[in-house]
Structure 1
């Protein structure tokens, strides 16, 4: 049936959407439905529960929003009739923006609620009446428990980025939410990957779902080229980054992903100090307003570099991102797919560049197994200075390699299976020597 629908439908008008939605779609510049939209929209409009497996950047948000907007049609009553759950505030904000875009010629009332801000304003908006609510699980439950949200009139529930929900430990909250919303409703689950936890969750609340998989699970977007550099240490990663970003003609709008807040701050400060272009960093320690402003500046083209941790990876929806640079390899392998999905969006061409030290190559191999392809590896450019790995970083890498071997073979006894005493001479030296700052380590004369 899905294949038949795909043959028959070639335009958004073929979905029999109302005039208000078609006008908004045309203004948004959507030319033709994407594969996930071709398959999902008819099934959702027919009332089926859906399990959609689609990469980020494939148009899945519009795939569930358009049928919901058709179903809700116009403002009615006080309590929400559709709930969309998202794992992060960034994604919740992105979905709410998409609703604003597609529902601009309707009187449908909608809002996004999430943590990081006081609930007062959100409560005021809820009390005025809503038709669609986008929420992160914790904030939704918080307002429900306070009696500020009535969910008894829900007809549709969407679980977006379900795999990230599981990674972030939201299963208990989702189960609580399922207990307090009406049992008779339409359920839509979307995920880029389908690990066991997501399958378990889908079995709990989806009723005879239609499975829609537009690409094999965890396959990166075809329009994204991928390359890998094996880099020995942090200083050399910085040197490689500096070499690459000097290509202002090709690297026009770049997202750099780091695994830690510390590295995000260090990388953004390095770029800022070297004057390679406007840069912003977003991570968990940044205030909500700072993160929103940084995202808006990046979207508007005022900022060339956005440095982000994985917490923010799923909420970035910016077209024309030329490159994604994985400064650190993610330890949650599905995050690699989500990271590189920030480029090559809306059928545009993009590039993903990954830096990996010796310990991180273990995780690269696991990622390659997940995406069912080998990432092409390039030698370090001759112009990039290769620095000697400091003793502490060398030890850290060696211990991580030991942990990896022990994980694959419990009987393995590595060099670090016992805590070794630090020689007195080295203890004394460490007390005398001041800590060298990040900038002293990376500073070198401009050529």
Structure 2
């Protein structure tokens, strides 16, 4: 294996990587770093999870020098907020032993903190196209000195319709610059973009010739499942032997939230990332998943490119993706950093045509998914699920029945009811013989306030502000027209 020191990387960066247990370089890094360090424009193509971030990040940090002058000198453009956070964390790690400052610029968060970091002189900016153009348009982001430019996950930018925004960004950076473009796939429009904005780029593909279209270290299982049985199947898969962190992809935001609630009720520690959540909530969910506080993450495709966690063992497609590229990006959340993983896909009866296209494009050789139910023996044997496993953890909280809630109140509740009854009887008794003393009226009023009574509940002659209640106007009954007296 080739180490980063062998590739000519500065010692402080090597030490920063070693502090995280990263010593050996991946194939894409071995090929791109030696070319990127002297300033060669690069088109890097490799499957997701193979270390592309360090492939472009190390040359960026090293080319800026140990202590660059304040101001934006490097720009890294990414398609999604989650990926912006991930790339920011990696770049921040690379600069841990030098004064270079990194800032993440993306939507869903307040402008003020990002603007303050820019004004403080951050040298490396990681951002999404929309927020970058917004701040540049307000003249709060100066890209005129950004001589290092990187486009990460360029094919996803194409899918999201960001190419016009990318062209606007390139108009704001210097004409003479070092440009790197990294992507898992390389469709025609991306190649055209590279020709327009790059100078004699070298196209590097870090794929093993015998690997095929999918990663060899990921096992793919495809089941034809009934929609009403999917939750039960998933709950049993989550109890498989050796199951670590798991990512479940759904097609819609509503389905993601519904599945989070369902798995939580079954006793699983699940979190969600989808478009209906605030950016802060999404970041908290991602942080809890990475830290191991939650071991199941349910997400829509918006988060597919930003889940960079090495120890994800299972990816489950609750609903089949629309095309083979989306499938590859979902499945690529597992089997990262050379580890093995399992990708399970559920195909509804109505989506068999989608699977036929994906199967043909990726050469799976499985045109007919196996019909599968939560009780199917092959489900247990395929995934190593212990015999007798059910879809609810033993420790899952059981919902208390309404009948139990009504009839099972303890002696404390009964005593409280008795005390309230006595207070109500005392408050009804008037002054005089056998009744409450006039001085008790204030006490009764305070008791009612403590019980949650209104500001004027009719129990006294005055409002709580001390003024007497207004006299009620008596309503006269009108006689019918033409009526005569007795």
Shorter chain as normaliser: what TM range? 0.7 to 0.9
How far apart, CA to CA, are the structure 2 residues paired with 1:136 and 1:375?
38
How high is the TM-score relative to the length of structure 2? 0.74
Q: TM-score, normalised by structure 1?
A: 0.80
Correspondence 1:235 to 2:225: no
Which position in structure 1 is the counterpart of 2:181? Answer: 189
Superposed displacement of residue 262, structure 1: 1.1
Aligned: 1:111 with 2:111:
no
What is the deviation of 1:382? Answer: 6.6
CA distance in 1, matches of 2:72, 2:222: 47
Match of 2:300 in 1: 309
Structure 2 counterpart of 1:208: 200
Task: Report the CA distance between 1:118 and its aligned residue.
Answer: 1.7
1:257/1:27 CA distance change after superposition, 3 Å: same
Q: Deviations over 1:236-286 (max 9, x none)?
A: 222322332232x332311000111011111111101111x2111111111
Note if contact 1:325-1:352 (Cα within 8 Å) is conserved in structure 2: yes
1:159 and 2:151 equivalent?
Answer: yes
1:77, distance to aligned residue in structure 2 (A):
2.5
Q: Determine the C-alpha separation between the residues in 1 that align with 2:366 and 2:220.
A: 6
Which of 285-294 and 358-367 deviates more?
A: 358-367
Tell me what 2:429 maps to: none
Determine helix, strand or coil for the equivalent of 1:322: strand
Shift of 1:384: 5.2
Change (3 A) 1:355 1:102: same
Write the distance in 2 (CA, Å) between the matches of 1:319 and 1:199.
Answer: 30
The C-alpha deviation readout for 1:349-398, integer Å capped at 9, x for no partner, is 1110000012322222222333333359444257159xxxxxxxxxxxxx
Change beyond 3 A, Cα 1:196–1:113: same
- What's the offset of the Cα at 1:73? 1.9
Check whether the contact 1:82–1:133 (CA below 8 A) recurs between aligned residues: yes
1:280 to 271, 285, 300: 271
Q: Is 1:326–1:355's contact at 8 Å kept on the other side of the alignment?
A: yes
Equivalent residue number for residue 257 of structure 2: 265
Contact 2:217 2:341 in 1 (8 A): yes
| Cα deviations by residue, 1:89-145 (Å, 9 ceiling, x for unpaired) | 110110010012121111111111000012111001100102111010010010001
> Residues 35-50 of structure 1: matches in 2 within 5 Å?
35-50=27-42
Which has the higher relative contact order, 1 or 2, with Cα contacts under 8 A spaced 6 or more apart?
A: 1
How many angstroms apart in 2 are the aligned matches of 1:379 and 1:358?
10
Number of residues paired by the alignment? Answer: 376
CA distance in 1, matches of 2:212, 2:330: 12
Residue 431 (structure 1) aligns with: none
* Conserved? CA contact 2:95–2:101, under 8 Å: no
What RMSD in Å do the two structures reach over aligned CA positions? Answer: 2.1
Match of 2:238 in 1: 245
**Structure 1, unaligned stretches of length 5 or more?**
1-8, 386-443
Q: Which residue of 2 aligns with 1:10?
A: 2
Q: Which has the larger radius of gyration?
A: 2
Deviation larger for 196-205 or 144-153: 196-205
How far residue 154 of structure 1 moved from its aligned partner, in angstroms, is 1.1
- After TM superposition, list the pairs within 5 Å mapping 1:75-224 onto structure 2: 75-215=67-207, 219-224=213-218
Q: Secondary structure at the match of 1:353?
A: strand
Whole-Å separation in 2 of the counterparts to 1:382 and 1:164: 35
1:293 to 278, 284, 292: 284
Structure 2: gaps spanning 5 or more residues: 378-397, 400-486
Please state how far the C-alpha of 1:218 moved relative to its aligned partner. Answer: 8.8
Native 8 Å contact 1:193 1:218 kept in 2: no
**Counterpart in the other structure of 2:248:** 256
Q: Give the Cα–Cα distance (whole angstroms) in 1 for the partners of residues 122 and 232 of structure 2.
A: 51
For 2:358, the equivalent position in structure 1 comes to 367
Note closer, same or farther for the CA distance 1:39–1:369 as it changes in structure 2 (3 Å cut).
Answer: farther
Alignment partner of 1:204: what SS? helix
1:340 aligns with 2:340: no
